[in-house]
Amino acid sequence: MNKARAARKLATAALSGVGGVGVLGGALFVLLGAEAMLARRAIGGPVGDAPQANGIYGYGEGEEISFVVLGDSTACGFGVQDPDETPGAMLAGGLASLSGRPVRLTGLGVVGAETQHLDVQVDQALEQRPDLALIIVGANDVTHRIKPSESVRLLAEAIQRLRAAGCEVVVGTCPDLGTIEPVAQPLRQIARYWSRSLARAQTAGAVAAGARTVSLGSLLGPAFAAAPRELFGPDRFHPSATGYASACVALLPSLAAALGYWSDDEDGDGYGDAHPDGQVLPISFAAAQAAKDEGTEVTPRGRWAILRQREPEPELPLDQAKTR
């Protein structure tokens, strides 16, 4: 996403979307314009490129899994410096750990991409003969005020092309733009409403087209709003490495389930509870969780770890304890 222009586009779209000055009144028009200008100054322009994380992950002896990631700056991991901190790299490593098979990652996302740009990305993806595709897109459709019906139509077409090629597809729906701190109220609330509306429409359209969906806005929005310093990067617009890891925790179960490496028969909370071996989290998350819960066993698997809750042995009467 072009973050320097995003706030301005939101303000312009907010005015035109509800009827302009005649409906809002001059005072609100001025307020939204001022908020957009302040947010634009606070966010600044994009600096650098997303790190390239393409390659083979894992050392299993099974057949290689072809994994493609499509979409916008969130799909790219824009804002982090280490390729291993991008969503594609973390998820490829997690899939390799769970499957015991090497995973070949091909990242095709483009900073600033809208849903209309998926067609070209799908062309490139099909050259990789993908087994699994992750699509994260929608934020730029909101800032450019693309009609949700058009966004969903284009998303469904992309999914159908991938599915026709035998590729499993998971869609991370539009994130909650109302969590972006430099955007003040009431512009922030407008952004939240539009992004959540698009996410709901994406869910319906993607499922109908044969994909699984993960609601990034509803799962991550409250966490990002509560801890913006930790989960957003220096620009306060794109996620930090911890923020991307949070998204990966939400996405990994659906990606693994699409390939048959995660149980669909149990109820999980999106953080690994449905995996038969226990909770699967990035190592930093696993360490923090283990520190809080007594009796938690942590088993590293690359950049991820499996948590198992070991039941403590029952306390024995003193006389029996002495004879053990």
Both tokens of 303, joined, read 């950049």
- Tally of CB atoms within 10 A around 322: 8
Asked if residue 77 and residue 110 are part of one domain, the reply reads: yes
Asked if residue 168 and residue 29 are part of one domain, the reply reads: no
212-214/65-71 β-pairing: unpaired
pLDDT the model gives residue 21: 37
Backbone angles phi, psi at 191, to 5 degrees: -60, -40
Q: Note if 238 is an active site residue.
A: yes
Residues in the chain: 324
Residue 126, classed as helix, strand or coil, is helix
Cis amide prior to 276 (ω within 30 degrees): no
**Cα separation, 273 vs 271, whole angstroms:** 6
Residue 234, classed as helix, strand or coil, is coil
pLDDT the model gives residue 229: 57
pLDDT the model gives residue 42: 45
**Cα separation, 183 vs 178, whole angstroms:** 8
**Cα separation, 46 vs 3, whole angstroms:** 7
pLDDT the model gives residue 231: 58
| Host H or E run for residue 35 | helix 26-43
Catalytic residue among 117, 144, 238, 275: 238
63 part of a folded domain: yes
What is the domain extent for residue 237?
55-269
Catalytic residue among 72, 131, 235, 240: 235
Identify the burial level of 128 via C-beta atoms within 10 angstroms of its C-beta, where 0-12 means exposed, 13-18 middle and 19 or more buried.
middle
50 part of a folded domain: no
Asked if residue 121 and residue 28 are part of one domain, the reply reads: no
DSSP designation for 63: P
pLDDT the model gives residue 66: 98
48 part of a folded domain: no
**Cα separation, 288 vs 66, whole angstroms:** 32
Total domains in the chain come to 3
Asked if residue 186 and residue 239 are part of one domain, the reply reads: yes
Asked if residue 281 and residue 206 are part of one domain, the reply reads: no
Q: Note if 273 is an active site residue.
A: no
Q: Note if 195 is an active site residue.
A: no
pLDDT the model gives residue 92: 95
**Cα separation, 174 vs 148, whole angstroms:** 11
Residue 223, classed as helix, strand or coil, is helix
Asked if residue 197 and residue 68 are part of one domain, the reply reads: yes
Asked if residue 236 and residue 200 are part of one domain, the reply reads: yes
Catalytic residue among 72, 73, 240, 254: 73
**Residue ranges of the chain whose pLDDT lies below 70:** 1-48, 178-187, 218-238, 264-324
Instruction: Please report where in the chains the tokens 């003193």 appear, as a residue.
Output: 318
